[in-house]
């Protein structure tokens, strides 16, 4: 009888250990909370729409002058961003708000002017932006 009760005890312990009672309970995976915020509608302009502005670019030994001359799409223009990239990998970038036709924008160098390109990006009232001139010196 003593051996039978020990055998029963071992059977019970065996069933407990193999039955998974000693393993921690599985927890449900945590689902991250995603917060969605509304953003303004993007401005959609047909890809075949190109806006046109006119510029004159002049370079001297110590400066670059870009004159904005207006153009067919000048009426709703709100800003010009002019970036000049130089041979020494430096760049000059300025933003001009509410540009007026006939206005010259001068970039003066401390030494010799060494521009490589001038990239001019126009911004209009509807938010549309476009490179209106990419000038190679």
pLDDT digit string (tens) for 52-72? 999 999 999 999 999 999 999
Express each pLDDT in 29-54 by its tens digit.
555 544 444 444 544 445 558 999 99
What pLDDT is stored for residue 49 in this prediction?
A: 80
Q: Which two tokens stand for residue 91?
A: 């760049």
Centroid of chain to Cα 81: 16
Centroid of chain to Cα 62: 33
Per-residue burial over 83-96, b if 16 or more Cβ lie within 10 Å, else e, is ebbbeeeeeeeeee
Is residue 100 within 8 Å of 27, Cβ to Cβ?
A: no
In the chain, DSSP finds a helix count (H) and a strand count (E) of: 1, 7
Express each pLDDT in 79-101 by its tens digit.
999 999 999 999 999 999 999 99
Instruction: List Cα–Cα distances, 99 to 10, 12, 93, 122, in angstroms.
Output: 92, 89, 16, 10
CATH code of 54-136, in short, is 2.60.40.10
For the chain, the domains span 54-136
Task: Say whether 39 sits in a helix, a strand or coil.
Answer: coil
């Amino acid at each position: 009888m003593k051996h039978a009760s020990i055998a029963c005890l071992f059977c019970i312990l065996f069933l407990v250990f193999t039955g998974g009672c000693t393993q921690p309970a599985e927890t449900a995976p945590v689902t991250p909370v995603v917060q969605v915020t509304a953003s303004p509608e993007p401005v959609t302009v047909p890809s075949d729409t190109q806006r046109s502005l006119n510029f004159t670019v002049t370079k001297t030994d110590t400066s670059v002058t870009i004159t904005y001359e207006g153009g067919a799409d000048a009426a709703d223009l709100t800003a010009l961003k002019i970036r000049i990239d130089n041979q020494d990998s430096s760049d000059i970038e300025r933003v001009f708000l509410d540009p007026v036709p006939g206005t010259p924008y001068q970039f003066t160098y401390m030494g010799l002017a060494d521009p490589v390109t001038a990239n001019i990006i126009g911004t209009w009232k509807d938010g549309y932006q476009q490179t209106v001139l990419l000038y190679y010196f």
